[in-house]
């Protein structure tokens, strides 16, 4: 008998796939590009004895983010997809156990992530030869990244076992990972304000439970952390990952038939006022545009979810403002983090909803039936646009009003570390511009991609990640150019304005180009993309 037969089979299948080679190639290419970019613009610091430490810190940040969030793309939908297709129950007609299925899915969906991590470690090890980093510090950083990745993959497969919906699985995976990362520090600070003034020798007690604690512990020789704190942090991550895998293994044999567990039989006497209102709205949507009615069907298209998210974030901000004061919430770091978090989550949500309907209808061959009706391509695109406007227009307006309030409040503060108006209005413009671009790009990738996760990641990469990289490259070049013409003092006095304007143009101009290009190409190529197998 073969031990863990699903693992052996899945590893053989994945080892022959092209993705195993592509992931390693692109991972190394991106890390080398980041290394060369840092070497080019590091300036005189290359002669410093601890230059290798700066290189290691620069490379550890994207590697840590990748390791922490890889579970969202790799394992968050591995079991839930089997539930939707109805094939998970067939596995348990054999003598397979829950741990066979979970370990097989975990191995199959994490092998490419492990390949990527192993591929970028030699690039990170170059910092040892540059000085300032010992080989033991490098090994500690590598072990920390591996622990973060295992924890992220375990969280993803645990959430996937408890969910059927792809978007819900991804959302709750991100939420759980963020909670594991930030709650160990935020909760003590919420209940005890003295945590902010704790000495450094006691801060490790709060940071110990945060994934990635081993990176600053390994790279900061001056930190007053106990020598065993690093190993306690690594042990905590592996224990949590093991507990989640065991929990998922025990749950998966009983979760394959939960599709009808929460369904209620429809009856007239159980109909609520909300369902009657929804039916009335549905008739209006159907008369206005048939595809609008189709796009707004199901719980995923519910406007209540977007409303609840926006109102929940604003409620958390208001409660925190009442507890710590508006002055603290208007601080540059805290205010910008809140704005960036809310804006980014809304943009990701827009991308997910823009790809959902087109990707599902293409995979289910629904478009073959729709395009054989009198419904035109223009009506389908307009119906999708109207559905997105119904879902997101008012919540986006509320967020813009909140950011406008922060802008007005910060304009009257001339002291401390309060954020300035130049920090707000470019982000407000980019929220609208990126949302419009993500709507068009999401429809485009929804037609081209077979997997919804690939469609979402492609949309976010084109609209958010690439402009951010361009912005950072321009910002890194900008000081040298301005210093030769205006001088050092004038550069830093207006540096915040320069950076915000650069980010605005680097994000808004590509958005405009994307909207013009896709709005002209999508109607022409819609039929070809929709029926392509």
> What pLDDT does residue 142 have?
93
Q: Per-residue pLDDT averaged across 200-222, rounded?
A: 73
Task: Please provide the average confidence, as pLDDT, over all residues in the chain.
Answer: 77
Model confidence band, residue 285 (pLDDT cutoffs 50, 70, 90): low
**pLDDT tens profile 295-330:** 777 666 677 778 888 888 888 878 877 776 666 666
Q: Per-residue pLDDT averaged across 379-393, rounded?
A: 88
> Which residues are CB-contacts of 108 (< 8 A; sequence separation ≥ 6)?
7, 10, 11, 13, 14, 78
> What pLDDT does residue 438 have?
92
Is 86 a residue whose pLDDT tops 80? no
Is 436 a residue whose pLDDT tops 90? yes
For 193, list phi and psi in degrees, rounded to 5.
-70, -15
* CB of 467 closer than 8 Å to CB of 506: yes
Rounded Cα–Cα distance for residues 452 and 352 (Å)? 8
> What pLDDT does residue 96 have?
76
Q: How far does the chain reach from its first CA to its final CA, in angstroms?
A: 39
> What pLDDT does residue 492 have?
43
Is 294 a residue whose pLDDT tops 70? yes
Provide the 3-class DSSP secondary structure of residue 418. Answer: strand
Q: Tell me how many degrees the CA angle 489-494-498 measures, rounded to the nearest 5.
A: 130
Span of 240-254, 464-478, 518-532 with lowest mean pLDDT? 464-478
Name the DSSP class of 99.
H
* CB of 178 closer than 8 Å to CB of 195: no
Tokens in use for 116? 């990527």
> What pLDDT does residue 143 have?
93
Is 515 a residue whose pLDDT tops 70? yes
Segments making up each domain of the chain, as ranges: 5-254, 281-530
Q: Per-residue pLDDT averaged across 464-477, rounded?
A: 76
Model confidence band, residue 480 (pLDDT cutoffs 50, 70, 90): very low
Name the DSSP class of 108.
H
CB atoms within 10 A of CB 41: 14
The share of the chain scoring above pLDDT 90, in percent, equals: 12
**pLDDT tens profile 63-75:** 998 999 888 888 8
The model's pTM is 0.71
> What pLDDT does residue 263 have?
46
**pLDDT tens profile 138-183:** 999 999 999 999 999 999 999 988 888 777 788 788 889 888 888 8
> What pLDDT does residue 478 have?
59
Tokens in use for 335? 């205010």
Q: What is the largest CA-CA distance in the chain?
A: 79
- Return the exposure string of 304-331: e unless at least 16 CB atoms fall within 10 Å of the residue's CB, then b: ebbeebbeebbeebeebeeeeeeeebbb
Strand partners, 484: none
Span of 95-109, 192-206, 225-239, 264-278 with lowest mean pLDDT? 264-278
Is 366 a residue whose pLDDT tops 70? yes
Name the DSSP class of 131.
S
Span of 35-49, 230-244, 340-354, 405-419 with lowest mean pLDDT? 405-419
């Amino acid at each position: 008998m073969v031990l863990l037969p699903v693992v052996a089979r899945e590893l053989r299948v994945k080892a022959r796939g092209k993705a195993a080679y592509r992931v390693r190639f692109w991972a190394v290419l991106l890390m080398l590009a980041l290394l060369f970019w840092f070497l080019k613009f590091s300036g005189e610091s290359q002669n410093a004895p601890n230059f290798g430490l700066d290189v290691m810190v620069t490379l550890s940040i994207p590697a840590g983010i990748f390791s922490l969030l890889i579970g969202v793309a790799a394992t968050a939908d591995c079991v839930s997809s089997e539930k939707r297709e109805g094939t998970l129950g067939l596995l348990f007609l054999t003598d397979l156990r829950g741990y066979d299925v979970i370990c097989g899915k975990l191995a199959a969906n994490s092998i490419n992530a492990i390949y990527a991590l192993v591929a970028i470690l030699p690039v990170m090890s170059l910092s040892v030869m540059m000085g300032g980093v010992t080989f033991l510090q490098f090994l500690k950083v590598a072990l920390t990244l591996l622990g973060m990745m295992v924890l992220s993959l375990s969280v993803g497969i645990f959430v996937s076992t408890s969910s059927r919906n792809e978007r819900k699985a991804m959302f709750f995976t991100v939420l759980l990972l963020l909670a594991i990362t930030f709650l160990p520090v935020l909760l003590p600070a919420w209940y005890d304000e003295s945590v902010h003034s704790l000495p450094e020798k006691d801060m490790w007690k709060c940071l110990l439970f945060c994934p990635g604690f081993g990176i600053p512990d390994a790279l900061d020789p001056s930190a007053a952390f106990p020598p065993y704190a690093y190993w306690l942090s690594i042990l905590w991550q592996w224990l949590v990952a093991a507990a989640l895998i065991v929990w998922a293994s025990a749950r998966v044999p009983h979760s394959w038939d939960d599709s009808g567990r929460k369904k209620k039989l429809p009856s007239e006497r159980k109909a609520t006022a909300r369902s009657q209102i929804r039916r009335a709205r549905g008739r209006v949507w159907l008369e206005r545009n048939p595809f609008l009615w189709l796009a707004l069907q199901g719980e995923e298209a519910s406007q209540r979810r977007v409303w609840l998210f926006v109102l929940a974030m604003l409620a958390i901000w208001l409660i925190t403002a009442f507890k710590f004061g508006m002055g603290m919430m208007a601080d540059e770091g805290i205010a910008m983090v809140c704005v960036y978090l809310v804006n980014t989550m809304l943009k990701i949500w827009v991308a997910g909803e823009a790809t959902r309907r087109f990707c599902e209808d293409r995979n289910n061959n629904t478009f073959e039936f729709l395009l054989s009706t009198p419904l035109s391509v223009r009506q389908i695109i307009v119906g999708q646009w109207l559905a997105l406007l119904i879902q997101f227009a008012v919540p986006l307006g509320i967020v813009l009003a909140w950011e406008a309030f922060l802008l007005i409040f910060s304009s009257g503060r001339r002291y401390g570390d309060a954020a300035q108006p130049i920090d707000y209005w470019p982000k407000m413009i980019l929220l609208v511009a990126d949302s419009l671009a993500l709507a068009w790009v999401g429809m485009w990738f929804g037609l081209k991609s077979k997997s919804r996760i690939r469609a979402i990641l492609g949309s976010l990469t084109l609209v958010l990640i690439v402009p951010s990289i361009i912005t950072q490259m321009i910002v890194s070049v900008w000081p040298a150019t301005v210093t030769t013409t205006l001088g050092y003092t004038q550069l830093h006095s207006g540096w915040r304005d320069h950076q915000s304007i650069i980010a605005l143009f680097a994000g808004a101009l590509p958005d405009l180009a994307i909207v013009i290009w896709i709005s002209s190409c999508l109607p022409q190529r819609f039929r070809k993309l929709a029926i392509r197998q």
